[in-house]
Structure 1
Amino acid sequence: MLLAGQIAIVTGAGRGIGRAIALAYAREGASLVIAEKDREPAQEVAEKIRGLGGQALVIETDVAQESSVNAMVERVLRELGTIDILVTNAGIQRRYFVHQLPTAEFQAMLDVNLLGTFYCCRAVLPTLYARRTGTILMIASDSGRRGYAYNAAYCASKFAVIGFMEALADEARAYAVRVNALCPAGVKTRMSESVTWGDGRPLRLEHFMEPEEVADVALFLVGPGARAIHGQAIPVYGGVTYRLE
């Protein structure tokens, strides 16, 4: 198995892309830390992993709170001994035209999507650096590569995640720690079901990717076959089936 014996933290793993990634890693032998704000879906994912014969630890974590992230990582090290993989997946998206965008909503997206990524990376880096091994994968977005109307705050947060990833990758190279980002577009998740275009039309989801398609790429990027990939923001667009509208 690709990840046998490894400890992987996946934030926001109770639903959607994070859930699919956690299950994909478990099938390949990793022990999972489900770092999730909502305990009920996190427990469901953990039980599914255990049903596959894997190990899972649920830790209630609010990535927007520095103390919550630090406590999560301290518990992982105390109970599991080390960390091999971090996937910063937790994120939120709320859509507004810029002239109607409340400051609090902009701040909320920065707190979860950007600062949450920073808090998690900073907390695990001393362990990865000391061992001179490990992988960090940030779940960014197509909205971090291209700006979209009615989505300015989310785009800003995800553009920032990619810049942060590139800077961290440049630092982490000296410690043999690989850092990359995934930039999915159009995934069937609870988040995508809740958002609309600026005129109120719902998104058409029939051509969107399944979370498992993104998870397949996320699995490759933390495995040995991707050892030459570092500091990259990888687009994941669903091949020939994906259409924006």
Structure 2
Amino acid sequence: MKMQDKIAIVTGSAAGIGKEIATTYAREGAKVVIADMNKDAAEATAQELRGTGAQAMSVAMDVTSEDQVNAGVAEVVKAWGGVDVLVSNAGIQIVHPLEEFTLAEWKKMLAIHLDGAFLTTKACLPHMYASGRGGSVIFMGSVHSKEASMLKAPYVTAKHGLIGLAKVIAKEGAKHGVRANVICPGFVRTALVEKQIPEQAKTLGISEAEVIKNVMLKETVDGEFTTVQDVAEVALLFASFPSNALTGQSLVVSHGWFMQ
């Protein structure tokens, strides 16, 4: 097993991409922490994983709250003795033309995506450093970490910012064996994306089918959505890679929507 006994915290993992990553890690032998704002949903996912024989626990965590982040990480360390892998996955989407965004919406988006990555990393790094085992910090970026789309100014800004943050962590963490990388998925048909389809259709004055075909999947090589399994496989690669050779990188998984 690629992650035997590694302790992995995955934020926003009660459902969607985060849940698939946590499930993949558990299948590979990790002790997984379902960290989510919705404690009941987090515990339901943890129970589901424990039902398969995996080791899983849940913690309530609003990633924009330093107190909740610190308390959640402390709970994990008390229960299992450390942290080996952090996946900062929690995120939301708000879609408007830039001039229609309120400052409150802008700050909310940056707080969840960027502040959340900063706070969870800051809480986990001391435990990774102290363990002597090293560790892996993984941020959930997006093709929008590389490319812009209309109607998503704060989202694109935040996702670009994650690449810079990961590069700094990679340099600072190297002497401790801590790697930092960013996963950059294309459109994954989660609840987050399902919500965007009618919103973009209304804003752009086109049908929902046209949003999918001509906006979301237009630049892919095959007109296909990226799957949660696709993303989880990249998360497994980053978490289980054995050396500092793979650090400070961002890997796009998007059916060719963005090519480097």
Aligned with residue 199 of structure 1, among 197, 204, 213: 204
Superposed displacement of residue 89, structure 1: 0.4
Post-superposition CA distance 1:124-174 (Å, at most 9, x none): 111111224111111111111111111111001111111111111111112
- SS of the residue corresponding to residue 204 of structure 2 reads coil
Matched, 1:209 2:226: yes
What amino acid is the match of 1:212?
Q
Aligned residue for 2:188, secondary structure, equals coil
Whole-Å separation in 2 of the counterparts to 1:210 and 1:74: 32
Identify the residue that residue 182 of structure 1 maps to in structure 2: 183
Deviations 1:53-107 (CA, angstroms, capped at 9, x unpaired): 1011110110011110000011111111111111000011111101111111110
Letter in 1 for 2:97: F
Runs of 4+ in 1 over 3 A off after TM superposition: 200-203, 224-227
Give the whole-Å Cα distance in 2 for the aligned partners of 1:16 and 1:138. Answer: 15
The count of residues paired between Structure 1 and Structure 2 equals: 241
Aligned to 2:94: 94
RMSD of Structure 2 on Structure 1 (CA) = 1.7
TM-score (norm 1): 0.93
What SS does the corresponding residue of 1:114 show, helix, strand or coil? Answer: helix
In the alignment, which residue of structure 1 is the partner of 2:149? 148
Question: What is residue 119 of structure 1 aligned with on the other side?
Answer: 119
Give the residue type in structure 2 aligned to 1:42.
A
Aligned partner of residue 48 in structure 2, secondary structure: helix
- Alpha-carbon distance, 1:226 to partner: 6.8
Give the Cα–Cα distance (whole angstroms) in 1 for the partners of residues 137 and 87 of structure 2: 6
What secondary structure, in the 3-state scheme, does the structure 2 residue paired with 1:178 have?
Answer: strand
Q: Is the 1:220–1:226 Cα contact (8 Å) retained in structure 2?
A: no
Aligned equivalents of 1:53, 1:99: Cα separation in 2: 50
- 2:59 is the counterpart of 1:54: no
Secondary structure of residue in 2 paired with 1:209: coil
Identical-pair percentage: 36
| Alpha-carbon distance in 1 for matches of 2:235, 2:164 | 19
Please identify, of 77-86 and 219-228, the stretch whose mean Cα deviation from structure 2 is larger.
Answer: 219-228
Q: Check the 8 A contact 1:213/1:238 in 2, yes or no.
A: no
The more displaced of 108-117 and 140-149 is: 140-149
**Greater mean deviation of Cα atoms: 205-214 or 157-166:** 205-214
* Distance in 2 between residues matched to 1:207 and 1:15, nearest whole Å: 21
> How much has 1:225 moved relative to structure 2?
5.7
**Contact 1:24–1:219 (Cα < 8 Å) also in 2:** yes
Q: For 1:226 and 1:13, locate their aligned partners in 2 and report how far apart those are by CA, in whole Å.
A: 26
